């Protein structure tokens, strides 16, 4: 088989890229190692920046998001019992974010692919990107006991942090920057009314907590837990009790509790691979970088990579110019590092770091006091939270 672009991974990055390329008349095939149900079962991000919302619109997959998504104009920071609302709209000249789950974004993209008979090959095993350092790259994979090969012009590695694409790059060609945090987020999803109409990020002496949502009837909550925590060690009741403590007394009085329908722990990590292009292989999304989830940048950063990458490929085929391909890595990384900085800063502000001692606790308090008293500090937080321009 031959195509113009092979995309490895059918998460949000891979499916969004495929959709945008299809609309521009570029032929592509997506290879995914899991089945569609498994991909949809992963509960992950929930907050979309304006730039990502606009991209979903351009990709023709925004109808349901427009109907069911919840525009949010602000959120609350709660430090012990001090609360500060960040007025995103007022501080950014009218910008806001959209609460709409990654699962729903992926489902909408899957539906769009199905409707146009888009080429997504699920349950493809042993996917291998080959010969991308020359003009004739190819990708091999196994499906239903048979080996296949696709010849192509470009390979896009959209296969997440543990994917095969980054792992296929020769060691000397890649530099990796990493910071691992000594805790994770224990998340639960529950059919209860959200405690507030906006998100609450809390830093309490017991640790971080986040009150988020997927709809007006479906809540998503997180608490900081030490690395190595067994998810089964936390009963639903214990999580609700802890949320009531960490979110502050005002929220505790109002919180509605119920059984969890999903419960999992995500580790926190900052990671960047440089560069993001190796000949005719380009990395995008979690394949190239990870942010800790504080600030909700992971999925949004994947979308901005896909913005630069889709434009580069469309320019290559439409205008016979490799300029966009040549500048992809540099353009994407400039935005990635700023989102890394913001996610790291929010993580440092809002979590308990037992190893960092009392000086760090004072720094957090000073940061909060500065935020509470400075319009400029709030503008900086808000412009990063709604998303820096592409």
Is residue 45 within the footprint of ligand DHB (CB under 6 A)? yes
Q: Which of 49, 73, 108, 286 binds ligand FAD (CB under 6 A)?
A: 286
Q: Which of 31, 255, 381, 386 binds ligand FAD (CB under 6 A)?
A: 31
Residue in 193, 211, 192 with CA at minimum distance from that of residue 202:
211
Taking the C-alpha atoms of residue 104 and residue 310, their distance in angstroms, rounded to an integer, is 22
- Residue 62, Cβ neighbours under 10 Å: how many? 19
- List binders of ligand DHB among 201-230 (CB under 6 A): 210, 212, 220
- List binders of ligand FAD among 249-278 (CB under 6 A): 266
Is residue 138 within the footprint of ligand FAD (CB under 6 A)? no
Cβ proximity to ligand DHB: between 112 and 251 the closer is: 251
Q: Which of 295, 328, 331, 347 binds ligand DHB (CB under 6 A)?
A: 295
Cβ proximity to ligand DHB: between 224 and 329 the closer is: 224
- Which of 157-165, 199-207, 320-328, 382-390 is the region at the interface with ligand FAD (rule: CB under 6 A)? 157-165
Q: Could you write out the DSSP letters of every residue in 217-232?
A: S-EEEEEEEETT--GG
Give, as one character, the DSSP assignment of residue 2. Answer: B
Residue 11's binding partner, choosing from ligand FAD, ligand DHB, none, with beta-carbon cut-off 5 to 8 A by kind? ligand FAD
Active site positions, annotated: 72, 201, 293, 297, 385
Is residue 324 within the footprint of ligand FAD (CB under 6 A)? no
Taking the C-alpha atoms of residue 297 and residue 46, their distance in angstroms, rounded to an integer, is 10
In three-state secondary structure terms, 164 is: helix
On whether the CB atoms of residues 75 and 135 are closer than 8 A, the answer is no
Packing angle, helices 12-23 and 102-115, rounded to 10 = 40
Four-point Cα dihedral 47, 51, 52, 53, nearest 10:
80
Is residue 285 within the footprint of ligand FAD (CB under 6 A)? yes
Count of residues near ligand DHB by CB under 6 A: 11
In three-state secondary structure terms, 234 is: coil
**Measured from the CB of residue 160, what is the shortest distance to ligand FAD in angstroms?**
3
Is residue 163 within the footprint of ligand FAD (CB under 6 A)? yes
Q: Which residue is nearest to ligand DHB (CB)?
A: 46
In three-state secondary structure terms, 13 is: helix
Taking the C-alpha atoms of residue 184 and residue 186, their distance in angstroms, rounded to an integer, is 7
Taking the C-alpha atoms of residue 47 and residue 64, their distance in angstroms, rounded to an integer, is 15
Q: Which of 14, 46, 118, 387 binds ligand DHB (CB under 6 A)?
A: 46
Pairing of strands 154-157, 5-8: parallel
- Which of 51-59, 190-198, 291-299, 374-382 is the region at the interface with ligand DHB (rule: CB under 6 A)? 291-299
**Measured from the CB of residue 45, what is the shortest distance to ligand DHB in angstroms?**
6
The HSE-up count of residue 382 (CA atoms within 13 Å, CB side) is: 26
Is residue 293 within the footprint of ligand DHB (CB under 6 A)? yes
Residue in 381, 364, 292 with CA at minimum distance from that of residue 82:
364
Could you tell me how far CA 182 lies from the centroid of its own chain? 20
Q: Which of 6, 7, 30, 47 binds ligand DHB (CB under 6 A)?
A: 47
Contact residues toward ligand FAD (CB under 6 A) are 8-14, 31-34, 39, 44-45, 102, 124, 127, 158-160, 163-164, 266, 285-286, 293, 296-299, 302
Contact residues toward ligand DHB (CB under 6 A) are 45-47, 199, 210, 212, 220, 293-296
């Amino acid at each position: 088989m031959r195509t113009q672009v092979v995309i490895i991974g059918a998460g949000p990055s891979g499916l969004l890229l495929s959709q945008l390329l299809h609309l521009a008349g570029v032929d592509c095939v997506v290879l995914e190692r899991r089945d569609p149900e498994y991909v949809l079962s992963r509960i992950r991000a929930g907050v979309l920046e304006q730039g990502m919302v606009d991209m979903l619109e351009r990709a023709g997959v925004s109808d349901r998001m427009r109907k069911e998504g919840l525009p949010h104009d602000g959120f609350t920071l709660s430090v012990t019992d001090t609360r500060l609302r960040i007025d995103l709209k007022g501080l950014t000249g009218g910008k806001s974010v959209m609460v709409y789950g990654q699962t729903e974004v992926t489902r909408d993209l899957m539906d769009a692919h199905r409707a146009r008979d888009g080429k997504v090959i699920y349950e493809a095993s042993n996917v291998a990107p080959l010969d991308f350092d020359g003009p004739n790259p190819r990708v091999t994979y196994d499906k239903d006991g048979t080996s296949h090969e696709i010849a192509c012009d470009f390979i896009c590695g959209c296969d997440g942090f543990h994917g095969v694409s980054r792992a296929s790059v020769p060691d000397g060609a890649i530099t990796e920057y990493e910071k691992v945090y000594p805790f994770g987020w224990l998340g639960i999803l529950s059919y209860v009314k959200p405690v507030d109409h906006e998100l609450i990020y809390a830093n309490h002496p017991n640790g971080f907590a986040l009150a988020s949502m997927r709809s007006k009837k479906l809540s998503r909550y997180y608490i900081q837990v030490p690395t190595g925590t067994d998810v089964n060690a936390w009963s639903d009741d214990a999580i609700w009790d802890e949320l009531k403590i960490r979110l502050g007394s005002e929220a505790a009085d109002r919180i509605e509790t119920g059984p969890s329908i999903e419960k999992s722990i995500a580790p926190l990590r900052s990671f960047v691979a440089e560069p993001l292009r190796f000949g005719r292989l380009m990395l995008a999304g979690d394949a190239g970088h990870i942010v800790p989830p504080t600030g909700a940048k992971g999925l949004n950063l994947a979308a901005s990579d896909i913005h630069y990458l889709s434009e580069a490929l469309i320019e290559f085929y439409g205008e016979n110019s490799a300029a966009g391909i040549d500048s992809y890595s540099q353009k994407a990384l400039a935005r990635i590092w700023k989102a890394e900085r913001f996610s790291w800063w929010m993580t440092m502000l809002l979590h308990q770091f037992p190893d960092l001692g009392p000086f760090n606790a004072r720094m957090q308090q000073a940061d909060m006091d500065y935020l509470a008293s400075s319009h400029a500090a709030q503008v900086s937080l808000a412009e990063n939270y709604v998303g820096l321009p592409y």
